[in-house]
Amino acid sequence: MSDSAVEPEDVRHVASLARVDLDDEEVDRFVEQFADILDYFETLDEVPEVDSETDLANVMRADEVRDSLTQDEALRNAPDSEDGFFKGPKVS
């Protein structure tokens, strides 16, 4: 996407990065809307650099074995499982 215009290929490219299929109508609508929205986001250029000193603190807990979900509970919502494993599509 360039500063001046958003092209359908740009929307398709980002959609593929985000792993979301889009139909052609959605691509057309997003081309138009993204141009407006990104133009608006450009006004962030007017924001000065700000020194922020955030107080950060580590939050640690003891590395101890605790109760957790059973394998059955963890798999309960999976559309497909086998022998106690999640079953997914092939990777390549």
Residues that bind another protein (CB under 8 A): 1, 11, 14-23, 26, 29-30, 33-34, 36-38, 40-41, 43-52, 59, 61, 69, 73-74, 76-80, 86-92
59 or 65: CB nearest another protein = 59
CA distance 38 to 48: 19
Q: Min. distance of Cβ 9 from another protein in angstroms?
A: 13
Element (H, E) at 82: strand 81-82
Q: Min. distance of Cβ 43 from another protein in angstroms?
A: 6
SS3 75: helix
SS3 85: strand
Q: What residue has token string 């809307």?
A: 33
Q: Phi and psi dihedrals of 42, rounded to 5? A: -60, -25
Q: Min. distance of Cβ 16 from another protein in angstroms?
A: 7
